[in-house]
Structures are given as C-alpha cells and as structure tokens.
Amino acid sequence: MSSPQIAGLTIVEFTPTRMMLEFSPKIYYSRDIPHALQDLVNTMEVSYRRSLVAKDMFEAAILENTYEDEPDAPHISIINDVDDLDVTPAWEFYYSNRIWHGDDVPPPDLPNLRGCDCEGYCDPKSQTCSCLKRQQEYSGHLSGFIYDDKGRLKQRGFPIFECNDLCGCLDGCRNRVVQHGRQYTVNLRKTTNKGWGVFAGRQKIPKGSFIGVYAGELLTENEGEQRGIKYNKFGRTYLFQLDFYHLRPEESGTGGDEGDDDWQPKYVIDAYHAGNFTRFLNHSCDPNCAMNACYVNEANLDKPLLALFTRREVQPWEELCFSYTGYDSDEEDDGDIHVNNGDAVYAPCLCGAKRCKGYMFK
C-alpha cells in the first residue's frame, strides 16, 4: 500500500510493531501502596519491636518486596550497634524499589518511546544506534555511551538514556545498567547523631558505580509542596524535586518566556510512605555519591529516574551520602538534584566533612 500524499508531502504512516503492542509494563499507583504489615507491627508491644525478631522481619520484608525486580541484589543487613533504642528504622513505610504514581501524574510516555534496531550488543562507535545518538545529544563532547565497558558512569551530571524494552539489543548490552538494579552490598546502620544511614559492605565500590534508584511516590510539584509543609513540622523530609539542568528551558534549548528563576520542576519523589534504602541516605557537604537523571522506559523528559552513582571510590564500611542541596565542596553548582527547598528549613549539618558548610536542608 502506498503512503498518502498531501500537496506533495508524503505522510509516512506509523504502524506500531507487534513488540510495541505487546509492551505494556505494569504501572504502580500511590493509592495501592500496601500498609498491612506496617500497621500490624506498629500495634505490637515495644518489647517486640525492639527484639531481634523484628530485625529479621524487616530484612525479610526487604527481600520479599524486591524479589521480582532485583532478585540478584546482595542482602541488606540492618545494624544498630550504637544504642538499644531500636533494632530497625521506624516501620512507617513500604519497602519498594518501584515508582508509585500519584494523582494527576501521567503514566510513562510509551507511545513516544523509541528503541534502537541494534542486534546483539550496541556498539559505542555505531553510526546507526538511535539510543547512542540520543545520548550524545545530551552528553557534550563525550564519545560513545555514558557507561564504560564495566558499566561505570564515565561522567556525571548528564542525563542517561539507557536502551529500553523496545530495543533490539540483548539484555547484556553495555547501555543497560540502572535497569539491572543494585549490584553492590549496602547496609542500613544507625549512626550516632544523624539517625539511620546507608553504609557500604566489606568491598570497595569503584568510582562511577550504580548504587540504587531513589524510589517512592512520583507526585506533582503542588502535592509535594503540600506534603513538604507537613514534613517540615516534624523535621524530616524524604521529598526530592526532579530538578535537573537539562530540563530547564534555556539549557534544553527549547526557549520559552520563563526565566530560570521562575522555572519549577513538574514532579517530586516522596519516599516517606514507600521507598528503598536510598531514603536513609544522609547529607554530606563532601559526598561520595550523587544523583543522575536516567531514562529507561519513559519518553517524558520531565520524569527521569533518580539514579545514585558513586562520585569517587568508596572504602569498605564507609557511609554513603549525597548532597541534599545539589552543591558540594568541589563545585558551586554541579547540576545534581536539588532538594525541595521552596520553604527550606535549615538544620545544623553533622556530616563531619573538612569543608562542612555547617548547615543542611532539613
């Protein structure tokens, strides 16, 4: 059948392939976040909640809730060797690596998602791989994919465009890292002065390694602002804006009347009710990790995953931290995620870094 023509223009008809028609990943909604186990544990005697059985249950809940999406991820241990007040963090959230869509948040933009036609493994020198081309549009002078041959980030601060479920390449393609989930051991450990934190295991973690996705509810900026007001009252927030430089009108080259100062990100992630170990990452003014925007099965640029990577080699048992402000001791502004700071509440920073600024956003 020939393509239709209007005034000399050929309209190329878009025919979804069978693979596209079959591709309908499950979407998770905030309203469906399970809470029965948390509710049950919170009705139990304090003596039970402080017993080692409660710790085993917490670790088992992590395993059970991540079995489908991260079956090979190393075990997470929960350790409190600083006091006898609790054996686990509060059972106030559902442990999950997923993104739970809030009201008014659109589902992933799959109709506009494109995959490459590569066979086998994508070649970092390819002239035809569409995923490589898209990555290079956003990664300055960096050649090849943004990952090296060991799957480590070559340079942070650029958005990552991984191969996705519509691509022809194999699962072992080097442009698939975040989607394979956590590979390094992390533990949840109580600190002496910052509540619970995230710590490396017995192995060093090389620079540029993927650690985990900041999981939680994906909410509109407006909903995030309302929740932020409540969270600021009790002094702990798990809200992070999806604020990256490539999304700003001037940076993306899309122009627009809005000045940089007026621009607001459209969405936030809230890890208060659902989230994974990353919700326990503490702030440091000299952080060993940083967040990067990452796209897998999502064509809507406003909705990247928040993917945490190491920004230097991490020593065994070292605490993993990132900068809540997006600024760190090396740079004035490095393009990382910015905390939801419309009504920022500041608190003394106890990160202990040599060049600690002395305060952090609460």
Ligand X SMILES: C[S@@+](CC[C@H](N)C(=O)[O-])C[C@H]1O[C@@H](n2cnc3c(N)ncnc32)[C@H](O)[C@@H]1O
List residues binding ligand X (CB under 6 A): 89, 194-197, 236, 238, 279-280, 282-283, 349-351, 360, 362
Among 342, 323, 283, 272, smallest CA distance to 100 is for 272
Provide the minimum distance between the beta carbon of 306 and ligand X in the complex, in angstroms, as a whole number: 13
Provide the minimum distance between the beta carbon of 280 and ligand X in the complex, in angstroms, as a whole number: 4
**For residue 300, what are the contacts with CB-CB under 8 A and spacing of at least 6?**
106, 108, 109, 112
Terminal CA-CA length for the chain: 62
SS3 166: coil
Strands 160-161 and 289-295, how do they pair? Answer: parallel
Provide the minimum distance between the beta carbon of 347 and ligand X in the complex, in angstroms, as a whole number: 6
- Kindly tell me which of 174 and 273 has the beta carbon lying closer to ligand X: 273
Provide the minimum distance between the beta carbon of 85 and ligand X in the complex, in angstroms, as a whole number: 12
Among 100, 82, 81, 91, smallest CA distance to 46 is for 91
Q: What's the rounded Cα separation, in Å, for the pair 308 and 191? A: 21
- Kindly tell me which of 195 and 206 has the beta carbon lying closer to ligand X: 195
Provide the minimum distance between the beta carbon of 292 and ligand X in the complex, in angstroms, as a whole number: 18
Contact 139, 153 (CB under 8 A): no
Q: What's the rounded Cα separation, in Å, for the pair 356 and 350? A: 8
- Kindly tell me which of 210 and 280 has the beta carbon lying closer to ligand X: 280
- What size, in residues, is the chain? 362
- Kindly tell me which of 55 and 279 has the beta carbon lying closer to ligand X: 279
Spacing of C-alpha 176 from chain mean position? 15
- Kindly tell me which of 139 and 282 has the beta carbon lying closer to ligand X: 282
- Kindly tell me which of 279 and 311 has the beta carbon lying closer to ligand X: 279
Provide the minimum distance between the beta carbon of 131 and ligand X in the complex, in angstroms, as a whole number: 33
Query: Which residue's CB atom is positioned nearest to ligand X?
Result: 195
